[in-house]
Amino acid sequence: MKVTVVGLGKIGLPLAVQFALGGHHVVGADVDDGVVSTVRAARPPFPGEAELVERLGQVVGEGRLEATADTTSAVAVSDVVVTVVPLYVDADGRPDFRALDAATASIGAGLRPGTLVSFETTLPVGTTRDRLAPLLERTSGLTAGADFFLAFSPERVSSGRVFADLARYPKLVGGVDPESGQRATAFYADALTFDERPDLARPNGVWDLGSAEAAELAKLAETTYRDVNIGLANQFASYADSIGVDFGAVARACNSQPFSHLHQPGIAVGGHCIPVYPWFYLAGDPDATIVRAARAANADMPDRCVDRLAKACGGLGGSPIAVLGACYRGGVRETAFSGVYPVVRALERHGAEALVHDPLYTPLELDGLGLRAYRRGDPVVAAVLQADHREYRSWTPADLPGVRVVLDGRHALDPARWPGVEMLSLGGGPM
């Protein structure tokens, strides 16, 4: 089949490569000319994705993957269109559909009868049927479910391990009508391969959930669950700190029983997914008080942790404080919704001089992100571990001259490596 993948970002490009490896001819479409040029040269436009360099080189070299900035022309000759254009949110958590709407209109302009369109962008429930289908119909003059087929199939992968996750987790699909669901199921079953999963109640593979709404809800439920669980763990850990109990030990004990799945508490929840998708859920279910409370609790964690650091230091006014990690997650060069920003703001409210270090960014790049760079070896009073980069596990007080207190916001540091330094962590030791 001829497949167009719209959006060559950290999920879309590996997905396009996977489809090409499956024997299909794939065109990757992106509005960024720089991304298109880089992909044509068989170079990933971003670092850190396992096996992408080799696999991209293979499929581009064999002519099975091309790239273009002309989405409409690519769609016009395609049997299947898969869209992974991001849906952004504003500062208040409201979805901003402009980029997705523009991509959808470009798809509609090239859409021909018989084509399957699958959206993988995480969406509020009802978006595929109530917003994207009418937009495709207006721009194409065709009818969803009759002239073309439309489904939602959420991406369920993480940056850095996309290929492994594609094989590991079932591919969920839901059509706007039964035939759309069947066509999407057939396409993904042909394009993907799946690991054996004896732990699952049904064979690993493509699972048709029966409707686009069910597939949309499945993605929001699995990600919102994590935010709620982390929020609960954070509150348990904060209470454990107040009574002098090691919550890590408590959580390990709880999780020894199969009905308890307490997550790791932490200083911040970041990234494109976990702090964002609860807002998508709330867009459809505004009365979900548990979801709203968990999101508020997690958003409050940077302030709570910095308040605790200030108390341990006897105040932070005028003190240089190193924030270790600008990324939202260790090993991933991405700052989307990273906890570094609220941590820095909280330190500055206490009058501290907040300085940021990250092994994946140069000082100049950190400056470009609006962060004041910390250079390893400069004197500080305290430090906050915000991202659990592997490099920080080998650090000692010699890397942070003068450090008196370290707040380990990710349970990643070995206290034995920090003699003479007061070590703080949320809830005590790691789980």
Please check whether residue 404 is in contact with residue 381, taking contact to mean a CB–CB distance below 8 angstroms: yes
Whether residue 138 is found in the same domain as residue 178? yes
Cβ atoms of 7 and 30 within 8 Å: the answer is yes
By CB atoms closer than 10 A (0-12, 13-18, 19+), residue 90 is exposed
Boundary-marking domain end, from 250, 275, 299? 299
Q: What is the pLDDT of residue 283?
A: 92
Q: Which residues contact 423 (CB under 8 A, 6 or more apart)?
A: 405, 406, 408, 413, 415
Give the up-direction half-sphere exposure of residue 259: CA atoms within 13 A in the CB hemisphere. Answer: 0
Please indicate, yes or no, if residue 431 is contained in any of the structural domains.
no
Residues (pLDDT < 50) of the chain are none
Whether residues 270 and 391 fall in one domain: no
- Indicate if 241 and 308 belong to the same structural domain: no
- 314: region left, alpha or beta (phi > 0 left; psi from -120 to 50 alpha): left
> What is the CA 352 to chain-centroid distance, rounded?
30
> Which CATH number do you get for residue 109?
3.40.50.720
**Residue 336 in contact with residue 271, Cβ under 8 Å?**
yes
The reply to whether 272 falls in a domain is: yes
pLDDT at site 431 = 64
**pLDDT tens digit sequence for 289-341:** 999 999 999 999 999 999 999 999 999 999 999 999 999 999 999 999 999 99
Q: Are residues 64 and 200 both part of a single domain?
A: yes
Q: Mark whether 232 and 196 lie in a shared domain.
A: no
> Residues with Cβ < 8 Å from 257, sequence gap 6 or more?
none
Q: What is the CATH number of the domain that holds 234?
A: 1.10.1040.10
Predicted pLDDT of residue 90: 79
- Backbone φ and ψ of 175, nearest 5°: -95, 165
Return the half-sphere exposure (C-beta side, CA atoms, 13 A cut-off) of residue 235.
12
Domain that holds residue 335: 301-425
**Tens digit of pLDDT for each residue in 128-162?**
999 999 999 999 999 999 999 999 999 999 989 99
CB atoms within 10 A of CB 258: 6
Same domain, 117 and 204: yes
- If one counts the domains in the chain, the total is 3
Does 126 lie in the same domain as 243? no
Same-domain pairing of 319 and 421? yes
Residues 54, 160: one domain? yes
pTM of model > 0.85: yes
- Of 183, 209, 235, the one marking the end of a domain is 209
Does 214 reside within a domain? Answer: no
142: its two tokens: 């065709």
pLDDT of 89 reads 83
Q: Give pLDDT, residue 403.
A: 98
- The rounded distance, in Å, linking the Cα atoms of 17 and 151 is 21
The answer to the question of residue 8 being in a domain is yes
User: How high is the pLDDT of residue 92?
Assistant: 74
Cα distances from 275 to residues 192, 263, 345, 367, in angstroms, run: 29, 15, 18, 24
180 part of a folded domain: yes
Q: Max Cα separation, the chain?
A: 72
Shared domain for 243 and 122, answered yes or no, is: no
Last residue of a domain, one of 259, 276, 299: 299
343 shares its domain with 359? yes
246 and 183 both lie in a single domain: no
In a domain, 430, yes or no: no
